[in-house]
A and B are shown apart, each in its own frame.
Chain A
Amino acid sequence: MERLQYELESRGAVAVRKPVLVGVTASGNCEVLVEGGGAPDRCAIDVQTSARGFGEIWQAVLRDFGERHAAGGLKIEIHDVGATPAVVSLRLDQALEAWEEGDA
């Protein structure tokens, strides 16, 4: 397993919400926990992945995510079991949607 930590610049997200969880720690899938309380213009992302050696791809997927969404102020944790970049992007989109709806 590999642990990766990133901090992205991003626009400020919707203010205080209850934490949300989407996805499952399952083969080809990942779970994403979103919490508030970080610095308003930064998004901290902590990844635990069973697939070693994909740090650059994670960096690219997460950079795109930070540009696509207003994720500033969020702390995101991911438990991954070999999800493809597309699946990770979709899970992150789903997580942000749930955060904005505030009822995941």
Chain B
Amino acid sequence: MRRSFFEASARDRLLELVDAGSFRELIPPEARVSSPHLAMLDQPVAFDDGLIAGAATLDGQPVLVAAQEGAFLGGAIGEVHGAKLVGLIERARAERPAAVLILFDSGGVRLHEANAGLIAVSEIIRALLAARAEGLRFIGLIGGSGGCFGGTGLIARCCDALVMSEEGRLAMSGPEVIETVHGVEEFDSRDRALVWRVTGGKHRYLLGEAGALVADDIGAFRAAAIRLLDAPAGLSLDSVEREHALLAERWRRFGSCDDAPEIWRALGVPPGEDVAMMSAEDFVAMAQRCIGRPA
């Protein structure tokens, strides 16, 4: 039976993604390591500060895994939330698991915590890149209601590979931020079709940013994560320079496009293909056929 990744809580997602009964939580809720900043602001806290972290197995292989709870303050990264993720990454450098899985669901920095949240994002990125340089594999999974924006979007793009559903969204500035800064004529954040086609998983897959596009189903995310356990991992100067060259080429080809479908046409998606209405399976088959995305 399909179980929606989008609708599930972070805790439920994580427990169903990894092998049944294998999850061992680090700093569990009863440890009560929650945000001191929110307490000072007299705001309700979460026992786990919106980040669940621990060790598990995936298809029998040891992994470390973290999940952000998008319903708690938009999954935003505060000091404790960030420190738990940094701690998990540092632990991975010592334990050398088959992969670190991060279930992103976050709008970025937690504004209540300001500089502490910003510092947390930079610490996460530094730890993640150091771990990748040592050959550790990072797999990000994006399919939650909060999407993956701001500093969390930066962290996600530092992973080796991303698994997304169409419902999962990934970008730097979120739709409301763009509208606030540049006006509704530039970007109408309430136009859901616009938001999904510009930031959604299908667009990210066509651009090559998401390595796998799956249906909104925890089982499909699990299967994709298992396949990625064997994918190449690592970070070198060569791979960074290749990525920069790809980004420069993308800007050259698509910098003048006004909307995502123009980019899809330029990539080779025929005008008759109704990308938004396709199932994940049909969409991936089309992308492989029409624009040569590898299977």
Contacts and interface: CB of A to CB of B under 8 A. Distances in A.
Interface residues on B, range: 10 to 19
Most chain B beta-carbon contacts within 10 A, residue among A1, A27, A80 = A1
Interface string B117-145: 00000000000000000000000000000
A29 B71 contact: yes
Interface string A46-76: 0011100000000000000000000000000
Contacts, number: 45
Given A19-B28, A19-B30, A35-B30, A79 B69 contact: no
A33 B34 CA distance: 13
Given A21-B47, A24-B72, A33 B30 contact: yes
B239 interface: no
A87 to B, nearest CB: 13
Interface of B is mostly: loop
A77 B46 CA distance: 11
B28 A25 contact: no
A8 to B, nearest CB: 21
Nearest to B11: A21
Interface of B: 9-11, 28-30, 42-48, 69, 71-72
10 contacts: A19-B30, A21-B30, A21-B47, A24-B10, A24-B46, A24-B71, A29-B71, A48-B45, A50-B44, A80-B44
Given A19-B30, A81-B44, 16 more contacts: A1-B42, A19-B28, A21-B11, A24-B10, A24-B71, A24-B72, A25-B72, A26-B69, A26-B71, A27-B71, A29-B71, A35-B30, A48-B45, A49-B44, A79-B45, A79-B47
Interface of A: 1, 19, 21, 24-27, 29, 31, 33, 35, 48-50, 77, 79-81
